[in-house]
Amino acid sequence: MSAARGYALVTGASSGIGLAIARELAAKGYSLVLVARRKDRLDALALALANEHRVDAVAIAFDLAASGAVPALLEAVRARGLDVEVLVNNAGFGMQGRFLDMDMAEVERMMCVNASALSHLTQLFAREMVARGHGYVLNVASAAAFLPSPYVSAYAATKAYVMSFSEALGYELRGTGVSVTTLYPGITTTEFNDVARAATPAAMNLSILPASAVARVGVRAMFKRRRAAVPGFINKLNAISCTVLPRGLIVYVTGKLLGRANGW
């Protein structure tokens, strides 16, 4: 099996966009480090990708919300003698509902996975990339990053953090050979909405894309070292609208749509 180039590490690789990105990278000849909580899914995926694409695929089960998980993941990668050339920070989940009704422990866990763990992983692996003079970071944010979103307020805030952090870090890394690309998916056919217990407004159905399409856009933008990628025409239009329309109006309309869809 080929391991001539560095490995691509993908978090949240067991389903959805992370799984689709892992498939895209394997098809391009990248050996993989697959990270997620569900070991059974990871092991099956690693075997399938290795057999299909003749790459090495290493499955490492970690809960990135656990204390000390990120340094432990780095050590697990080092112990296997693997150089990570591509880091895909995809792991994350959402919570939908009235913020005052949410379990704060679960909110903090979401913040840890979506923002803290992403930042820590980026710091540790990008340091090694910079030392080698080459690498790619793909941070998966969300279309929700562009505006405060009622009923997903904390989740949208974590993705706004990913946007700001990634774009600023990309500037810091100019000239190092390491780039940071941010992917902003809209509604995607994954398990995400089931986990978030979210209903989708009918007006947004036309923007829904399969995870495979989102992954292709993100991987292509990453290897072109682009700053950002927004999959789908309607999602691009929404992103532009968020920059030109009055912010209060956008928040009001978003709140009305999500509230009506979920009976609030």
Active site residues: 155
2: left (phi over 0), alpha (psi -120 to 50) or beta: beta
Alpha helices of the chain — where are they, by DSSP H?
16-27, 39-53, 69-79, 104-111, 118-132, 153-172, 192-196, 211-223, 233-244, 247-262
Q: Token pair of 148, please?
A: 């405060």
Longest CA span, the chain: 54
List Cβ neighbours of 147 (8 Å cut-off, separation of 6 or more): 156, 242, 247, 250, 251, 254
List Cα–Cα distances, 132 to 59, 71, 136, in angstroms.
Answer: 24, 20, 12
Count CB-CB contacts under 10 A for residue 216: 18
Of the candidates 36, 45, 34, 90, the one whose C-alpha atom is nearest the C-alpha of residue 66 is: 36
Handedness of CA 195, 25, 48, 126 (dihedral sign): negative
Could you give the CA distance from residue 43 to residue 217 in angstroms, rounded to a whole number? Answer: 26
Chain-centroid distance of CA 73 in Å reads: 17
